[in-house]
Amino acid sequence: MPTHSYVPHAPGYVDNEGPKIVTSRFGYEDSFTLERSQATGGYQALRTALDKTPAEIHSEVREATLLGRGGAGFPAGIKWGFLPPGKFPYYLVVNGDESEPGTYKDRLLMERDPHQLIEGCLITCYALGLQQCFLYVRGEMALAQERIAQALNEAYAEGYIGKNILGTEFSVDVVLTWGAGAYIVGEETALIESLEGNRGMPRLKPPYFPAAVGLYGQPTIVNNVETLSNVPWVTENGARQYKTYGSEKSPGTRMFAVSGHVKRPGVYEVEQGITTFRDLLYGDNFCQGIRDGHELKMFVPGGGSAPWFFEEQLDLPLEAGPVGAAGSMLGSGGIIVMDDTTDAVKAALRLVRFYARESCGKCTPCREGTTWEERVLQRILDGEGRPSDIEMLLDIADNISPGPYPVAADPAQDLDAIPFPPKQTTICPLGPSSVAPITSTIRRFRHEYEAKITKRDPIPVAAEKAVS
Amino acid sequence: MADIADYFRGFAVTFRKLFEDRVTGEYRGGRAKEGQPDDKRPKPERLHGRHVLNRYEDGMEKCIGCELCAGVCPANCIYVRGADNDPENPTSPGERFGFVYEINYLRCIHCDLCVEACPTQAITESKLFEFSFTNRSDAIYTKDELVVGDDGKPQQMPWEDWRDGEDQLTSGWMRATSSAGDHRYEGVVHWAGELGYGVRAPELGQSAEVASAPADGGEVE
Amino acid sequence: MSRADEAETVNVTVNGAEIEASPGELLIDACERAGAYIPRFCYHSRMKPVGMCRMCLVEVDTGRGAALQPSCMLPVSDGMTVETETDLTKKAQDGVLEFLLVNHPLDCPVCDKGGECPLQDQTVAFGPGESRFVEEKRHYEKPIAISDTVYLDRERCILCDRCTRFANDVAGDTLIHFMDRGNNTQVNTFPDEPFASYFSGNTVQICPVGALTAKPYRFKARPWDLEETISTAWTDSVGSRITVQSSRNEVLRLLGVDADSVNWGWLSDKERFAFEALNSEDRLGRPLVRDDDHQLVATGWGDALDRAVAALQGAAPERIAMIGGARLTNESQYAWAKLAKGVLRTDNVDSQLGDGLPVEAVLGLPRATIDDACRPGGTIILMGPDPKEELGALYLRLRHAVLEDGATLIEITPRAGGLTGLASHSLHPRPGELPALTAALVAAVNGEAVDTAGVGGGVIAAAAAALDGPVTVVLGRASLAETGESVADAAVNLSRLDDVSFLSALRRGNIHGALDAGLSPGLLPGRTTLSAGSERVGEVWPGLPESDGLDTAGILAASAEGDIDVLIVLGADPINDFVDHAAAVAGLEAAGTVIAVDLVRNDSIEAAAHIVFAAAGPTESSGTFTNLEGRVSVCEQKVTPPGTARPDWMLATELAHRLGADLGLDSPESIRAELVSVSPVHHNLIEEALAVGRIDGVLVEGNGDIAAPVSTTADVPSNDAYSLRLVSTRSMYDDGVALRHSASSRGLARGLDVRLSPTEFDKLGVKPGTIVKVESSCGQLLAPAFADSSLPAGSAHVPWSAAGSPAGSLIDAGAPFIDVRVERA
């Protein structure tokens, strides 16, 4: 019998009212055990799935419009359809390298309900005819690794994984791997490189999807933890039931990790498309508003890579389309709220520094540009800034992400939103992500930058000669 | 008849000059006997004379053996070879030093391009041009002869005629690029004063202030 | 199916002009052909694109709107529209260059790359005029020695991935890689593991900045000092094309030239740094003679030549012998062949030092080129030396063929080597039983496979089943403790395969030129025999030998018996290089007069030479070189020889002149003209062809009059239970004369050891590294012992090392196998 370490759950989940699709067991102290899982309907969906044909499961998921929860929001059912026929073996890779700043929903899913994730993997493997699944968990998530390992052992012992699952012809192996703490490995091709034992650097595109050429050169489906955690519910309750939640384009629920200056930060499962940012941040059932005595200054709507939103965008629904049109993205579902005590330049620096440290070093604009941005911001904060630094920052940003960068509308300045996504001179979006805090803050809070700039620009030599 | 008149008219110029002030001066090449005059006329400020290889204040040579002077030399009179500095006992700062440095004064046209090309202000030109070597090997100055002595002054070769002040006012140094990555220096005339030897003041349009001010990387007034 | 798939070419619009490109061609190449050069740092045409530097971003429209795309990663497609000079492109190029320069130290004045630096050049051509970066730059310890020959300066590195890709993808030595992240990303070696690759010099050549520099060239000159000429590398028989760069009459650097049919721009470090030996202090600048005190003293040419003539005039033709000659150019080889065989009329001439193959096996079988061997879908049978150790550039080509072009490699070697990891089948027969194994392999193609020569029948059957498409046998002498005849027999067996051809892997310099020039017993110039070619050659030559002569082993044996009056050693060091050390010493010491023609004093000269002619080296005289395919390429003179050293062909004509004969050869061109006139196979070796084939050379094809070899050897008895059968293979750094005189490579010579098959090692009962005694019927040595699982049971391996020839002391020339006993010391 496996022995469970009853390390108390890490904080983060707030037990609120509302539909629970993936967080249904989060309230239990022993939610991660096989006993609790089975007692609350765990692995029931697997049995249901095994009674159906793989094609039925696939069409159910496609029908449910289960959107990818990793950041790009690509429908899982359609992604699964990209597997080229006859190029066996296929692999399933679970992207558990959640390291987007402000995002911690996958960690909770892995820590609190690993069996739900494993069940989702198994159903996906069954639906697509895969026999090997790799669970890639972020290096720092020790508790998640431990609990998934325990859960895998339990599931193997119980016959849910391995040869002839539940007495059928269906066999799957699930392999747990963990990273070494590199943010870039959250990018799916870099994750595959890391899985193969190489340095985690994004691969060249094309091919654009690992579904064509992925792990070990084979067609590979890479899905996010939350996406797969939805699969058992969809299988068990069907697409029609799933679509009763959320909006038409974005059905179901979605987990949002709210952090920052709200009264009740935490992870919430909310209905997509119906709930607005205002509901989430101010609703009594959710974050209950900005901390007392302060007002919202800005918030990051979808993980550190997303351009920032402000008061005016609060009434946008939590849905990819409208948020993208408004100049940002829901991304990984991490919302960082900042109130009026926040220094915009410092906040931008904090995020830019993250990207500078985490750049994999492959593409020149990202490797050199992010660090340069960081150092200029630091210099401005150190009181060594020059007036030309602001334009220079925007120009460096333009060299990483050419053209207008997505940004929220600013009615006060009569400026329109520039829709997502940005263009990029790099292979992956890490470099352009570092631009988001800079363009967002300079556009809205240029006066804060200017207030910090104390030095003068050097007089251009040519101009000086012209004067004398 | 007219021919003869023209003939004497020519002589008229000669006779007239006999009573004007002399333009030439008495010059004995430093070997004047007592009582005899040994004057040299002052040289123009921008005169290019024989080269000097400078040192830093700590005695290290400025030359890094990069051969840019040799590369730019239109007369092909400079021969340089670099070598690895001994890390324990370096000749110059950094990895490389001028291992061989020779200037052939039978070829040098004193154009000063080597001085402009030098990235470390190692080579400058003095005002000295009176040398009378009697063999080829004397005419080829080696590094030992070109480099300044321990007193920071050019060494005087036996065949050179130095006078007081002629080691002053060596040529200036202009940046073709901004080697330190600071674009403010681009195109600025920069005088090798603080570390080099024998410098003349900047002239009109050559701003010494701009060059010397912004060491802190911040303000330029 | 789209139109592009059907079409042979696709149409691409580059800056408004429509050009044709082949499908799959990368946009960056197509644009360059169209005259629109796109700047790049990481892209290298001989390596896979990686898209690292982002310098080659151009505006591409494939119908979905123009966007910046890296042209090094984008294959052309029909209807693609490319703009390489728009404002957007210029801004991107400016931006990337500014980024690259942000942390670049700009120490160009002290950097060896300064003046020929792509970063400098492209900054001038495409970059911004100023930097806006005012922060402090990234700092690392300035250059760190990552190997004996290569320095790494991480401050200068722009992280283009070229060196790491080369080491990993091309050379297969993953010894340098990226470390750390973000702005601190750096290239470095693994801890305590130097960049000990045989091909490390290539990374220096392809580095687009001065991050990797080579010790032999460090601070020696600036690019604008250098003058260069195209030539051919001389240390092995691949004939890699090089440029020789010199300044002030001193060769300072060799760079690989991208010859499509030969070396693709790559060189082994041995080829690249071999010039150091030519500049060494021990170079011979004057002729030497042995004085009354038996010391070699310098003398004038008249004296040296007169003494040689005096010795030669008194000797009967059959008492004159000449060994060596693989160092020489084709022209010098022809001149010496004409002198030895035509004037002196001796056939005791052999350019192979007992470590080669019978000439029939080299010249008499259907021959293949490197391109033939590397063709996609073909099969390569490696039955010869480890190319990684002996023929570096060939190794890189074969490696590429297997990895990238789908060629199949079957290895029939005495033990595992550099290509073993790529071989689909590795057969390691017992020493001496190569013919039996190949016979079994050929038999297995159409029938049963049985256990043979210690290799299982199943393995043989699997290898036979893998023989697919055209087969190229890379044929050479893998083990010096077996005979060349045995390899030739094995080749005869393989020649029965369908669609088979042979690529010679004789390693020594211009050995194939020497064979083509007739420097072998029974041979005349132009791949013909003494009997078949006598009429044609006899018309031009003053005379011919009366009968077939001796090979090197025979010459040395005859000399030891007192039957050789004059022994000419033509650029060879038999004491350290002949397979049988004792026979070489005895033969040299007993010869009446030894005339050596060489570049540096070697052990054979010290021990036995009476007259030493100082010869001009490969960069000091003009001529041509024949590589292992029979490809002839030029070696041009770049510098003058030291002292009064003279080109080898000139020495032959001078000697002939003093012997009263006129060779009628007064220049390399005239020698080539005569060679073409006497040799039908050299018919295309005309000056016009050499000019056209300036990079790729001129292929001399055909077998001439040389017949295929016939089987000669008998069955090999198995060794008794107490003895082991010896395997001796060469390594890249074998401590030979050239290596010993190369300052930077001298320390790379590998040590002596003995390797045993694991069962034998266990029987010995010692710890790895324990000194053991290896004893054969002719000698013994002491060396540390290790196990090697790739060795066949009952065999022992001793590497060939030139210094003192320890392995040679165990080997008896001509014995079909060598049995040794290995005991605790």
- Per DSSP, the residues of C469-525 read SSEEEEE----TTS-HHHHHHHHHHHTTSTTEEEEE---BTTHHHHHHTT-STTEET
Task: Give C 630-659 residues with CB within 8 A of chain A.
Answer: none
The Cβ-side half-sphere exposure at C642, using a 13 Å CA radius, reads 19
Residue-wise pLDDT for C177-228, tens only, equals 999 999 999 999 998 899 999 999 999 999 999 999 999 999 999 999 899 9
Asked if CATH classification 2.40.40.20 holds for the domain at C724-824, the reply, yes or no, is: yes
- pLDDT given at position B162: 79
pLDDT band at residue C711, thresholds of 50, 70 and 90?
Answer: confident
Q: In whole angstroms, give the CA distance from residue A273 to residue C247.
A: 74
Residue-wise pLDDT for C441-498, tens only, equals 999 998 888 898 889 999 999 999 999 889 999 999 999 999 999 999 999 999 999 9
The answer to whether residues A276 and A187 belong to one domain is no
The string of DSSP codes covering B26-76 is ---TT-PPTTS----PPPPTT---SEEE-B-TTS-BS-----HHHHH-TT-
Token output for B64: 């890094």
Residue-wise pLDDT for C483-501, tens only, equals 999 999 999 999 999 999 9
Average pLDDT for C668-675:
95
CATH of domain C138-278: 3.30.70.20
Task: Label residue A98 exposed, middle or buried (CB < 10 Å: 0-12, 13-18, 19+).
Answer: buried
- pLDDT given at position B196: 43
Which SS3 state, helix, strand or coil, does residue A73 take?
Answer: coil
The answer to whether residues A160 and A148 belong to one domain is yes
Q: What is the pLDDT along chain A (468 residues), one digit of tens a residue?
A: 445 556 677 788 888 888 999 999 998 989 999 999 999 999 999 999 999 999 999 999 999 999 998 878 889 999 999 999 888 899 999 999 999 999 999 999 999 999 999 999 999 999 999 999 999 999 999 999 999 999 999 999 999 999 999 999 999 999 999 988 899 999 999 999 999 998 999 987 777 788 888 999 899 999 999 999 999 999 999 999 999 999 998 999 999 999 999 999 999 999 999 999 999 999 999 999 999 999 999 999 999 999 999 999 999 999 999 999 999 999 899 999 999 999 999 999 999 999 999 999 999 999 999 999 999 999 999 998 999 999 999 999 999 999 999 999 999 999 999 998 999 999 999 999 999 999 999 999 999 999 999 887 765 444 444 443
Chain C residues whose beta carbon lies within 8 Å of the beta carbon of residue A400: 95
Q: Given a cut of 70, is residue B79 above it in pLDDT?
A: yes
B42 contact A CB<8A: no
The residues on C that touch B, with CB distances below 8 Å, are 101, 106-107, 109-110, 114-115, 129-134, 137, 142-143, 218-222, 224-225
Average pLDDT for C806-818:
89
Chain C residues whose beta carbon lies within 8 Å of the beta carbon of residue A402: 68, 88, 91-92
Residue-wise pLDDT for C310-355, tens only, equals 999 989 999 999 999 999 999 999 999 999 999 999 999 999 999 9
CATH of domain C359-503: 3.40.228.10
How do beta strands B123-125 and B140-141 pair? unpaired
Domain limits of chain C? 3-85, 138-278, 293-355+511-695, 359-503, 724-824
- Residue C447 Cα distances to C279, C423, C441, C465, angstroms: 58, 23, 10, 11
Give every CB contact of residue A392 below 8 A, 6+ residues apart in sequence.
Answer: A376, C132
- pLDDT given at position C98: 93
pLDDT band at residue B178, thresholds of 50, 70 and 90?
Answer: very low
B178 contact C CB<8A: yes
Question: For residues C400 and C370, is the Cβ–Cβ distance under 8 A?
Answer: no
Residue A276 CA, chain-centre distance (Å), reads 19
Q: In whole angstroms, give the CA distance from residue C64 to residue B123.
A: 59
Residue A284 structural domain: 246-340
Residue-wise pLDDT for B22-58, tens only, equals 777 777 666 667 777 767 777 776 778 889 898 887 8
* Maximal CA-CA distance, chain A: 92
H helix runs in A199-303, sequence order: 225-242, 277-282
- pLDDT given at position A468: 39
pLDDT band at residue B170, thresholds of 50, 70 and 90?
Answer: low
Residue-wise pLDDT for A270-320, tens only, equals 999 999 999 999 999 999 999 999 999 999 999 999 999 999 999 999 999
Average pLDDT for C89-112:
92
Backbone angles phi, psi at C455, to 5 degrees: -105, 135
The answer to whether residues A63 and A198 belong to one domain is yes
Q: Is C109 in Cβ contact with B119 (below 8 Å)?
A: yes
The answer to whether residues A329 and A361 belong to one domain is no
**Of A219, A242, A265, which marks where a domain is finished?**
A242
Question: For residues C369 and C400, is the Cβ–Cβ distance under 8 A?
Answer: no
Residue-wise pLDDT for C682-695, tens only, equals 999 999 999 998 99
Asked if CATH classification 3.40.50.300 holds for the domain at B43-201, the reply, yes or no, is: no
Residue in the structure block whose two tokens are 């030739």: C488
Question: How high is the mean pLDDT of chain C?
Answer: 92
- pLDDT given at position C469: 85
Q: Is B183 in Cβ contact with C132 (below 8 Å)?
A: yes
Return the amino acid letter for B199. V
The Cβ-side half-sphere exposure at C116, using a 13 Å CA radius, reads 13
What is the predicted ipTM? 0.92
Average pLDDT for B91-112:
92
pLDDT band at residue C356, thresholds of 50, 70 and 90?
Answer: very high
Q: Given a cut of 80, is residue C1 above it in pLDDT?
A: no
Residue-wise pLDDT for C505-533, tens only, equals 999 999 999 999 999 999 999 999 999 99
Which SS3 state, helix, strand or coil, does residue C105 take?
Answer: coil
- pLDDT given at position A275: 93
Q: In whole angstroms, give the CA distance from residue C109 to residue B63.
A: 10
- Chain B nearest CA to C57, separation (Å): 25
Q: Given a cut of 90, is residue C129 above it in pLDDT?
A: no
- Cis preceding linkage at C128, omega within 30: no
CATH level 2 (architecture), domain C3-85: Roll (3.10)
Q: Given a cut of 90, is residue C9 above it in pLDDT?
A: no
Integer distance in angstroms from the first to the last C-alpha of chain C?
A: 73
Token output for C305: 């030549």
- Chain A nearest CA to C96, separation (Å): 6
Q: Is A465 in Cβ contact with B205 (below 8 Å)?
A: yes
Return the amino acid letter for C815. A
Domain limits of chain B? 43-201
| Total of domains in chain A | 3
CATH level 2 (architecture), domain C293-355+511-695: 3-Layer(aba) Sandwich (3.40)
Task: Label residue B19 exposed, middle or buried (CB < 10 Å: 0-12, 13-18, 19+).
Answer: exposed
The candidate with the shortest Cα–Cα distance to A329, out of A254, A388, A406, is A406
Q: Is C95 in Cβ contact with A182 (below 8 Å)?
A: no
Residue B118 CA, chain-centre distance (Å), reads 13
- pLDDT given at position B180: 41
Strands laid side by side in the C144-145 sheet: C144-145, C150-152, C212-214
Residue C162 CA, chain-centre distance (Å), reads 23
Average pLDDT for C275-283:
91
pLDDT band at residue C132, thresholds of 50, 70 and 90?
Answer: confident
Q: In whole angstroms, give the CA distance from residue C415 to residue C431.
A: 10
Report if residue A4 sits inside a domain.
no
Q: Is C159 in Cβ contact with A361 (below 8 Å)?
A: yes
Question: For residues B97 and B61, is the Cβ–Cβ distance under 8 A?
Answer: yes
Q: Which of C114, C115, C131 sits opposite B183 (nearest CB)?
A: C131
C87 contact A CB<8A: no
What percent of chain A shows pLDDT beyond 90? 79
Is this structure's pTM higher than 0.95?
Answer: no
Torsion angle defined by CA atoms of residues C16, C17, C22 and C26, in that order, rounded to the nearest 10 degrees: -50
Report if residue A24 sits inside a domain.
no
Q: Given a cut of 90, is residue C806 above it in pLDDT?
A: no
Q: Which of B64, B66, B84 sits opposite C218 (nearest CB)?
A: B84
B98 contact C CB<8A: no
Chain B residues whose beta carbon lies within 8 Å of the beta carbon of residue C134: 181-182, 217
The candidate with the shortest Cα–Cα distance to C820, out of C782, C777, C789, C786, is C777
Q: Given a cut of 70, is residue C290 above it in pLDDT?
A: yes
Backbone angles phi, psi at C32, to 5 degrees: -65, -40
Chain C residues whose beta carbon lies within 8 Å of the beta carbon of residue A425: 54, 57, 68, 92, 95-96
- pLDDT given at position B13: 84
Query: Which chains share 3+ C-beta pairs under 8 angstroms with C?
Result: A, B
The answer to whether residues A300 and A203 belong to one domain is no
Q: Which of B68, B70, B217 sits opposite C134 (nearest CB)?
A: B217
pLDDT band at residue B168, thresholds of 50, 70 and 90?
Answer: low
pLDDT band at residue B181, thresholds of 50, 70 and 90?
Answer: very low
Strands laid side by side in the C408-412 sheet: C425-427, C408-412, C379-383, C471-475, C500-504
pLDDT band at residue C713, thresholds of 50, 70 and 90?
Answer: low
CATH number for the domain spanning A135: value is 3.40.50.11540
How do beta strands C623-626 and A334-339 pair? unpaired
**Of A242, A269, A303, which marks where a domain is finished?**
A242
